[in-house]
């Protein structure tokens, strides 16, 4: 039961497709039967370990890393565009102006 990101089906919990009451009842029954023995204990330990990866520290680190990647991608793309613009620019001709009144 839950989101695929938060639950590894059969390892840390059970994912139930849709909103069918019978499917949900079957999934809950499976969990209750597992809980009484080693399979349930293993699922419980795996769920606790998996959930530890969802701390605010981990979330913040992942967010900052994605910002760094986005900034790096933007900067690299901008450098290429500026370099292309400079290469495509016609050279300027500098000449002395004559007859320009003030």
Residues 8 and 44 in one domain: yes
Residues 51 and 59: their CA atoms lie apart, in Å, by 12
- Return the closest-CA partner of residue 14 out of 65, 93, 32: 32
Residues with Cβ within 8 Å of 7's Cβ and at least 6 positions away in sequence, in order, are 1, 13, 14, 15
Residues 33 and 77 in one domain: no
| pLDDT value, residue 2 | 54
Q: What is the pTM of this model?
A: 0.50
Residue 4: pLDDT band (50, 70, 90) is confident
Across 54-83, average pLDDT? 85
Residues 25 and 41 in one domain: yes
Per-residue CA distances from 63 to 51, 54, 67 (Å): 17, 12, 6
Most confident of 34-38, 62-66, 74-78: 62-66
Structural domain boundaries enclosing 70: 55-88
Residues 3 and 33 in one domain: yes
How many structural domains is the chain composed of? Answer: 2
Cβ neighbours, 10 Å, residue 45 = 11
pLDDT of 74 over the 50 cut: yes
Residues 12 and 33 in one domain: yes
pLDDT of 39 over the 90 cut: no
């Amino acid at each position: 039961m839950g989101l695929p990101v938060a639950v590894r089906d059969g390892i840390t919990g059970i994912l139930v497709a849709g909103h069918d009451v019978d499917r949900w009842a079957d999934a809950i029954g499976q969990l209750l039967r597992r809980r009484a023995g080693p399979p349930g204990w293993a699922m419980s330990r795996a769920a606790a370990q998996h959930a530890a990866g969802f701390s605010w520290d981990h979330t913040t680190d992942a967010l900052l890393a994605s910002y760094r990647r986005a900034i790096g991608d933007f900067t690299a793309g901008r450098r290429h565009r500026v370099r292309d613009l400079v290469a495509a620019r016609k050279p300027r001709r500098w000449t002395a102006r004559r007859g320009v009144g003030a």
